[in-house]
C-alpha cells in the first residue's frame, strides 16, 4: 500500500535505546587501553621467513617479416631478469611484527618480437629494524645495523635467451630459445637485537620503566602494583646540542636467566648491542648490593666480558626512608659510581642525565679513534 513506507518509519526500532543490556553492549564495544601483556604480540624479535627470487622471463621466438623481405632473420628478444628479495634496515621500524613469513620477487617479462627485450622484474624490499641478524642454518649471513643497509636475501632468476641470440654464420635461422631461470629460494631466520647506546638492567620492579618514562618520551606500562615488563622499550634522551642518546628498557632479569629461566635468554641478547649499562637497583630492599652482584653474574654467565662494559649504578626509590639508610652502605660495597634518585618524584635526575652524556661522549670518542662511525639516532 502507499502508506507502507510511512508505517515503517513510524514503527518502533528493533532494539531499545534505554535497555540496560544494550547500553552495556555499547560500552563493551568501546576501544579499551592495551595492556602490557597484549602489547607483546606487537613486539616480535624472531621471524622465520621463506624468500624466493622472481622468475626470469622466457626468450622470444619470432622472425622478422615485412613486404618484399621474406627472409628477415630471427628477431626474438631476451627475457627480463627476475627481481631480488632485499632486506633493508630502517630506523623507523622497531619490531619484526610487520615481516611476513613469505616473500617473492616480481617475475621478469618475456622477450618480444623485433628484438624487444622483456622488462626486468622489480625488486621486493622488506624493511627490518636496526640490529637485525639474518641467519641461515644457524650461521649469521648478515648484520644490519646501519640505516639504509641492504642485504640481498634471494636473487632473481636470469632471463632466457631469444632466438636472435643464437644467430651465427652457421645457423642463419635459429629456432632455439631458452626459458627463464627460477629465482633463488632460501629459508632465513631473522633475529632482532635492540641497538641502543645504554641499557637499563635490573631485577623486576626495580623501577626501570618508571625511570625510562622520566628521562624520555617512551611510555612503557607502569602501575602501583608489582609486575614485570614483557618486551623491550627504547627511549630517546634529547640534549640541547641536538645529540640523542638511546636508552633501552630490558625486561627484568631473575636468578638463572642465563639458564633460560623466566624470560631468560629471550631478552638477554638485547643487552649485547648496548655500549654502556645502567644497573638499576632498589634501594629500599635489604642489602641492595646483592642485586648488583647477581645482575653482573647473570650477564657474565651469558657472555664473557658483558659485565665489564662502562656502567653506572642507579639507586632508585630514594624517596623512601629505608633507601636513605641503605645508600651509604651501598656506596661502601660498590666500586662503581652510585647515583641515588627517585624516578617517581624526579629527584636527582639531572645528575643521571649529565653522567649519561659523559658515557655517550666517551663512546663516540672511542669509536672515532678506532676509525669507526658511532651509532646515531
**47-74 mean pLDDT:** 86
The string of pLDDT tens digits covering residues 132-175 is 889 999 899 998 988 889 999 999 999 999 988 888 888 888 88
Q: What is the pLDDT of residue 221?
A: 57
Q: What is the pLDDT of residue 43?
A: 64
Q: What is the pLDDT of residue 48?
A: 92
Place of cell 641478524: 133
Helical (H) or strand (E) element with 302: helix 289-302
Q: For residue 357, count CB atoms less than 10 angstroms from its CB and return exposed for 0-12, middle for 13-18, buried for 19 or more.
A: middle
Residue 3's pLDDT band, with cuts at 50, 70 and 90, is very low
Q: For residue 139, count CB atoms less than 10 angstroms from its CB and return exposed for 0-12, middle for 13-18, buried for 19 or more.
A: exposed
Q: What is the pLDDT of residue 159?
A: 92
Residue 29's pLDDT band, with cuts at 50, 70 and 90, is very low
The string of pLDDT tens digits covering residues 363-377 is 889 888 888 777 776
Q: How many CB atoms lie within 10 A of CB 114?
A: 11
**Crossing angle between the packed helical segments 349-369 and 208-215, to the nearest 10 degrees:** 80
The number of angstroms, rounded, from the C-alpha of 254 to the middle of its chain's C-alpha atoms is: 25
Q: How many CB atoms lie within 10 A of CB 220?
A: 22
Q: What is the pLDDT of residue 166?
A: 86
Q: What is the DSSP string of 325-355?
A: HHHHHHHHH--S-EEE-BTTTTBTHHHHHHH
Is beta strand 233-238 parallel, antiparallel or unpaired with respect to 244-249? antiparallel
Q: For residue 262, count CB atoms less than 10 angstroms from its CB and return exposed for 0-12, middle for 13-18, buried for 19 or more.
A: middle
Q: What is the pLDDT of residue 326?
A: 87
Do 198-370 and 43-193 fall under one CATH topology? no
53: phi then psi, degrees, rounded to nearest 5: -70, 160
* Beta-carbon contacts of residue 170 (< 8 Å; ≥ 6 apart): none
Q: For residue 98, count CB atoms less than 10 angstroms from its CB and return exposed for 0-12, middle for 13-18, buried for 19 or more.
A: middle
**Closest of 221, 303, 213, 214 to residue 258, by C-alpha:** 303
The string of pLDDT tens digits covering residues 212-228 is 888 887 666 554 444 45
The string of pLDDT tens digits covering residues 282-314 is 888 888 888 888 888 888 888 888 888 899 999
Domain boundaries, the chain: 43-193, 198-370
Q: What is the pLDDT of residue 15?
A: 45
Q: What is the pLDDT of residue 103?
A: 95
- How far is Cα 249 from Cα 221, in angstroms, rounded to an integer? 11
Which grid cell sits at 172? Answer: 642463419
Radius of gyration over every alpha carbon of the chain, rounded to an integer in angstroms: 31
**48-71 mean pLDDT:** 86
Range from 10-19, 49-58, 268-277 carrying the lowest mean pLDDT? 10-19
Q: What is the pLDDT of residue 230?
A: 54
Q: What is the pLDDT of residue 88?
A: 95
Which tops the pLDDT comparison, 124 or 7?
124
Residue 104's pLDDT band, with cuts at 50, 70 and 90, is very high
- How far is Cα 247 from Cα 347, in angstroms, rounded to an integer? 19
Cβ atoms 129, 90 nearer than 8 A: yes
Q: What is the dotted CATH code of the domain comprising 198-370? A: 3.40.50.300
Q: How many CB atoms lie within 10 A of CB 51?
A: 25
3-state secondary structure string, 65-121? CECCECCCCECCCCCCCCCCEEEEECCCCCCCCCCCCEEECCCCCCCCCCCCCCCCC
The string of pLDDT tens digits covering residues 69-100 is 777 788 889 999 999 999 999 988 877 888 99
Which tops the pLDDT comparison, 40 or 284?
284
Which grid cell sits at 72? Answer: 628477415
**227-246 mean pLDDT:** 76
**57-65 mean pLDDT:** 87
- Across 67-71, 191-195, 256-260, 340-344, the highest mean pLDDT is recorded for 340-344
Average pLDDT score, the chain: 80
The string of pLDDT tens digits covering residues 333-358 is 888 899 998 888 888 889 989 999 99
Statement: residue 183 has pLDDT above 70: yes
Cβ atoms 118, 162 nearer than 8 A: no
Q: What is the pLDDT of residue 229?
A: 54
Cβ atoms 193, 135 nearer than 8 A: no
- How far is Cα 332 from Cα 216, in angstroms, rounded to an integer? 31
N-term to C-term CA, the chain = 72
Q: What is the pLDDT of residue 252?
A: 59
Of the candidate CATH numbers 2.70.210.12, 3.40.50.880, 3.20.20.20, 1.10.8.60, the domain formed by 43-193 belongs to: 2.70.210.12
Q: What is the pLDDT of residue 289?
A: 87
Amino acid at each position: 500500500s502507499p502508506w507502507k513506507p510511512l508505517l515503517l518509519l513510524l514503527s518502533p526500532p528493533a532494539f531499545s535505546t534505554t535497555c540496560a543490556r544494550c547500553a552495556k553492549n555499547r560500552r563493551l564495544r568501546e576501544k579499551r587501553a592495551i595492556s602490557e601483556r597484549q602489547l607483546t604480540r606487537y613486539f616480535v624479535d624472531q621471524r622465520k621467513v621463506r624468500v624466493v627470487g622472481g622468475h626470469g622471463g622466457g626468450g622470444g621466438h619470432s622472425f622478422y617479416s615485412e613486404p618484399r623481405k621474406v627472409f628477415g632473420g630471427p628477431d626474438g628478444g631476451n627475457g627480463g631478469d627476475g627481481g631480488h628479495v632485499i632486506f633493508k634496515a630502517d630506523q623507523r621500524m622497531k619490531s619484526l611484527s610487520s615481516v611476513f613469513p613469505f616473500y617473492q620477487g616480481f617475475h621478469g617479462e618475456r622477450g618480444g618480437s623485433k628484438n624487444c627485450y622483456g622488462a626486468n622484474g622489480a625488486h621486493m624490499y622488506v624493511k627490518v629494524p636496526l640490529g637485525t641478524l639474518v641467519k641461515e642454518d644457524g650461521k649469521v649471513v648478515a648484520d644490519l645495523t646501519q640505516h639504509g643497509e641492504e642485504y640481498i636475501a634471494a636473487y632473481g632468476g636470469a632471463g632466457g635467451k631469444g632466438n636472435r641470440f643464437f644467430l651465427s654464420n652457421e645457423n642463419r635461422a635459429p629456432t632455439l630459445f631458452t626459458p627463464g631461470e627460477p629465482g633463488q629460494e632460501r629459508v632465513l631466520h631473522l633475529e632482532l637485537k635492540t641497538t641502543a647506546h645504554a641499557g637499563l638492567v635490573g631485577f623486576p620492579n626495580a623501577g626501570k620503566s618508571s625511570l625510562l618514562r622520566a628521562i624520555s618520551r617512551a611510555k612503557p606500562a607502569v602501575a602501583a602494583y608489582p609486575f614485570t615488563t614483557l618486551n623491550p622499550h627504547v627511549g630517546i634522551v634529547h640534549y640541547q646540542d641536538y645529540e640523542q642518546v638511546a636508552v633501552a628498557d630490558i625486561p627484568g632479569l631473575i636468578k638463572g636467566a642465563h639458564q633460560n629461566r623466566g624470560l631468560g635468554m629471550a631478552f638477554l641478547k638485547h643487552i649485547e648491542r648496548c655500549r654502556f649499562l645502567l644497573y638499576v637497583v632498589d634501594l629500599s630492599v635489604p642489602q641492595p648490593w646483592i642485586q648488583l652482584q647477581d645482575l653482573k653474574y647473570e650477564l657474565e654467565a651469558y657472555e664473557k666480558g658483558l659485565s665489564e662494559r662502562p656502567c653506572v649504578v642507579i639507586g632508585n626509590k630514594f624517596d623512601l626512608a629505608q633507601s636513605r639508610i641503605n645508600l651509604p652502605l651501598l656506596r661502601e660495597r660498590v666500586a662503581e659510581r652510585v647515583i641515588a634518585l627517585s624516578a617517581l618524584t624526579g629527584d636527582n635526575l639531572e645528575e643521571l642525565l649529565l653522567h649519561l652524556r659523559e658515557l655517550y661522549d666517551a663512546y663516540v670518542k672511542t669509536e672515532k679513534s678506532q676509525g669507526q662511525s658511532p651509532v646515531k639516532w
